[in-house]
Amino acid sequence: MDIRTNVQSGSWLKGKIALAVLLGVLVVFAPVLLQGFQTMSFFVRVLGIIGIYVLLALGLNIVVGYAGLLDLGYVAFYAMGAYAAVILGEKFVAAMQTISNVGLRDFLVSSQFLVMLPVAAIIAALTGLALGTPVLRLRGDYLAIVTLGFGEIIRILATNDFLGLTKGAYGMMAPIAQPLGLAQLQLVPIAIPAIGFNFIFSVNLYWYYIVVLLIVLAVFVVRRLDNSRLGRAWVAMREDEVAASSVGVNIMTSKLWAFALGALWGGLAGVVFANAQGFVSPESFTFMESVFIVTMVVLGGMGSIPGVIVGAALIAGIPEMIRGVAQSPLLAGVIDPTLASAISGYRYLVFGLLMVIMMAVRPQGMIPSTRRAQELHPEDEKVLEEEDQSLWDIKHGADRSEHDL
C-alpha cells in the first residue's frame, strides 16, 4: 500500500523511468568515452573522487537527513575505514603470501580490498556506536561540537602515529596488489586511431565502477531503511522527540542505529579511497572534509537521496572541474598556466559564494525530500522547541518551575 502523499501519475512515472535509464547509461558509459581520449582521461579520476563523496554524503544523510543529528566529525569514520584498509590490508596480504598455491595466493591477494570492505565497514560502525553511546545524549549544537572534536581527535591520533599504527604525517602506502580482475579487463584494449580513441581499462576506471556499485548498494539500503519501522522512528524523533518517546520509540537506540549505519558507509568510502589513491595520510581527513560532506547533504536536500547525490557531485565536482578546465591543454593557448592555476586557486571562493546564494534562496536544498521541504517552511515553526528544552532541563535536574505544572 502506498502511504506517500504525492500521487504519482502514470506518465510522470514513465518520464522518471526514462530519466533513470538515461542516467544509468551515462554513468556506465560516459567514463569509457572519457577514458578513451587522452586529454579527457583525467576526468575518470575526478569522477571516481566524486563517487567517493557521493557515498560519504549518502552515509551522512542517514545521520543528518533522517535522524536529524548534526555530525561535524563524519570524516572520522572515513579515516577509520581508510586506515583500517591500509593497516589490516597489509596484514592480510602478508598472511596470504604464505599460501603456496600460486593461483590461489594471487587471487586472495588481489581480492584484499574486497575483504577489507566489510571489515572496515564493521570497524567504522562500531566506532560510530562507541562515539554515539556517550555523546548522543547531547542535543543540537552540543552534539555538533562534540562530533567536531571527535573528528579532530581521530585526525590528530593519526598524525601522531597512534600506537605506532599510522606512521604519523608521513602517511601509509596501501597494500600493493593488483585489484581483482583488472588484469583480465585490460586484455582487450579498444582503439579507433582515426578519432584518437584509445581505450584501456585503467585503474581509475576500475575504482570508479567499484564506487558506483557501492553507491547503488547504499541507495538500495537507505531507501529500504527509510521505509521501515526504524525509518519512521527517525522521522518521528526528528519531528518531536518527546512525542516519539511517548509512543514507544527508544530515542537512544534509534539515534545509535543512525550513527552506526551512517558511519558504515564512511568506512566503505575510506577503503575505496585508500586503495584508489594508493596512499593514506592525515591530511585527507581534515575538519574541512567534514564540512564539505555536511554541505553536500544540506545543499542537495537533507533526507533526499537524489538531492544528496547531486549535492555531492556538484560540490566535489565543481572545484575539480574548474581546475581541470582552467588547466586543460585545450585552453593552454588561451589562458597562460599561471593564470589558470590562480583561477583554480580561487575555486573555493566561487563555491562559497554559490553556497551563500543557495542557502538564502533555497534553504531546503536543490532536490528536497517532500517531507523536509515541508518542515523547512518557516510558518510551521512551533513553540515546541522551547518546551522541549524545558522538559530536558527538568529531567536533568536544572531548576525550572514555571513549566508544565
User: How far apart are the C-alpha atoms of 143 and 155, rounded to whole Å?
Assistant: 19
Q: Is 122 in the site for another protein (CB under 8 A)?
A: no
Q: Is 1 in the site for another protein (CB under 8 A)?
A: yes
Per-residue DSSP letter, 132: H
Q: Is 232 in the site for another protein (CB under 8 A)?
A: yes
Cell numbers standing for residue 303: 533526507
Q: Which of 10, 134, 248, 329 binds another protein (CB under 8 A)?
A: 248
We find the least distance from the C-beta atom of residue 401 to another protein, in angstroms, to be 4
Q: Is 160 in the site for another protein (CB under 8 A)?
A: no
Q: Is 233 in the site for another protein (CB under 8 A)?
A: yes
We find the least distance from the C-beta atom of residue 55 to another protein, in angstroms, to be 17
Identify which of 213, 207, 218 has the alpha carbon closest to the alpha carbon of residue 57: 218
Q: Residues of 108-134 as b/e, b for ≥16 C-beta within 10 angstroms?
A: bbbbbbebbbebbbebbbebbeebbee
Q: Is 247 in the site for another protein (CB under 8 A)?
A: yes
Count residues binding another protein (CB under 8 A): 46
Q: Which of 66, 78, 206, 257 binds another protein (CB under 8 A)?
A: 257
For 35, 261, 297, the CA distances from 140, given in Å and listed in that order, are 45, 19, 17
Site for another protein in 362-391 (CB under 8 A): 371, 374-375, 380, 383-384, 387, 391
Q: Is 117 in the site for another protein (CB under 8 A)?
A: no
Q: Which of 11, 98, 184, 401 binds another protein (CB under 8 A)?
A: 401
Q: Which is nearer to another protein, 319 or 363 (CB)?
A: 363
User: How far apart are the C-alpha atoms of 292 and 314, rounded to whole Å?
Assistant: 11
Q: Is 219 in the site for another protein (CB under 8 A)?
A: no
Task: Please give the backbone phi and psi of residue 248, each rounded to the nearest 5 degrees, phi first.
Answer: 105, 0
Please identify which residue in the block is written with the cell numbers 597562460. Answer: 336
User: How far apart are the C-alpha atoms of 150 and 152, rounded to whole Å?
Assistant: 5
27 CB-contact burial (10 Å; exposed 0-12 / middle 13-18 / buried 19+): middle
Judged by CB under 8 A, which stretch of 14-22, 238-246, 266-274, 330-338 contacts another protein?
238-246
Q: Which is nearer to another protein, 46 or 222 (CB)?
A: 222
Q: Which of 239, 336, 385, 386 binds another protein (CB under 8 A)?
A: 239
> β-strand 197-199 against 190-192: which pairing, if any?
antiparallel
Please identify which residue in the block is written with the cell numbers 593552454. Answer: 332
Q: Is 289 in the site for another protein (CB under 8 A)?
A: no
- Using CB under 8 A, list all residues that contact another protein: 1, 3-5, 220-221, 224-225, 227-233, 235-236, 239-240, 242-251, 257, 261, 371, 374-375, 380, 383-384, 387, 391, 394-395, 399-401, 404-405
